[in-house]
Amino acid sequence: MNFELNEDQRELQEMARKFARSELPDLAREIEDKAIPVPEEMRRRYGEMGFLGINLPAEYGGLGLGHLEALLVLEQFAMVSVAVAWPLFEALTGPVRTIEHFASPQLKAATIPEVVKGNKIVAVSMSEPAAGTALTDLTTRGQIDGDEIVLTGQKRWCSGAGHSDLYIVYARLSDAPGAKGIGAVLVEKERAGLSFGRPEELMGFRGIPSADIFLDEVRVPLGNMIVPEGGFGKLMSAFSLERCGNATMGLGIAAAALEDATNYVQERKQFGKELVEFQAVQIRLAEMAMKVEASRLLIYRAAVNAEQGLPSIMESSMAKCFSNEMVRDVAANGMQLLGGYGYSKEYLMEQRVRDSFAWGIAGGTTDVQKTNIAASLVGRRFNQRR
């Protein structure tokens, strides 16, 4: 057991840190002010630098490194803002991994290299107006018609909706009840019958588009099937890595809040001395630092234990849940330490507070993660319907 990064990992982390801090702060501010996503030209720069393929297979243009390396890079981008980190999140830990693990070789070859280059973004489309946490209640249908799949339904809370190029649509592919009838299909944005609702206005997440998706007899080739009916368990297993990505986005926010607060209390003076000289400030800083480091270790454990596979449900749920709760607390404490400056939109702390609340909702709420943890502890799943 070794808690030190090796030389290659440290170099990769430092390269990501330098790029993020030199190239992205102004863009992050523009994205926050205008609620626009990362521009295509910058996304392609991410690709040229190798950031979008850290842990994707070399045969598809990736670097073929481990999940830990991917999360090290993601954290550095998230410290600047989650919006500038979003393309990395989607490529390294998000829906692209579902394609990598479960799609046909032809579908992998057609999509993953384009993601690695920064030419395309893949989004996942799961939730519906009446199916969120109770995902197996989804009603979007996929009817096989010869060599095509015809999709009809409505999706909600799709991050990237209207902006992403490709959508992994969860759909009911047969009349089999519950999870047994559910699979996933890849849908290209330009398909006839695919449309989007108005952009959602959210508390945070500015620059990460979200909207309803409407599928009106959208036809895609049968080869776009990623997971057929009965593969719901496979789809859920891919979310173990997404949980680690979610946790890392929160970690990045918290680490940046801690860094800014630490610097501020050593510069700001009140009553004739630096704020850091007050014991109450010291205690608050120490508590923030302990939570950030504990979160980082939980995330790293899940990633390292998974090696090149998918993290376990228990370890990824622990990492996500702890990070989700930790980041809200650390960001709020950072705001408190900065006082009026922390509450001002001229500075970044208030944005971090707003962005911090998203992660305990997205990708499965904190309560859902706790039921996952309890189920792993006792060795059985709990039926929430009875």
Question: Between these two residues, 273 and 383, which has the higher pLDDT value?
Answer: 273
- Residue 198 is given by DSSP the state P
- Whether the pLDDT of residue 293 is over 90: the answer is yes
Query: What local confidence, expressed as pLDDT, does residue 318 receive?
Result: 97
Give domain limits for the chain.
7-120, 123-229, 238-378
Query: What local confidence, expressed as pLDDT, does residue 371 receive?
Result: 93
State the helix-helix crossing angle for 40-49 and 7-23, rounded to 10 degrees. Answer: 160
Q: Which residue, 249, 239, 241, 302, is CA-closest to 73?
A: 249
Give the pairing type, strands 122-125 and 166-172: parallel
What's the number of CA atoms in the CB half-sphere (13 Å) around residue 183?
A: 23
CATH superfamily of 123-229: Butyryl-CoA Dehydrogenase, subunit A, domain 2 (2.40.110.10)
Concatenated DSSP letters for 331-383?
HHHHHHHHTHHHH-TTSSHHHHHHHHTTTTTTTS-HHHHHHHHHHHHHTS---
State in Å, rounded, how far the first CA of the chain is from the last one: 42
CATH architecture of 238-378: Up-down Bundle (1.20)
- Whether the pLDDT of residue 51 is over 70: the answer is yes
Average pLDDT over residues 360-377: 93
Average pLDDT over residues 336-351: 96
Query: What local confidence, expressed as pLDDT, does residue 308 receive?
Result: 63
Buried b (16+ CB within 10 A) or exposed e, 230-257: ebbebbebbbbbbbbbbbbbbbbbbbbb
Assigned CATH topology for domain 7-120: Butyryl-Coa Dehydrogenase, subunit A; domain 1 (1.10.540)
Average pLDDT over residues 349-361: 97
Please tell me the pTM assigned to this model: 0.94
Q: Which residue, 130, 131, 30, is CA-closest to 80?
A: 30
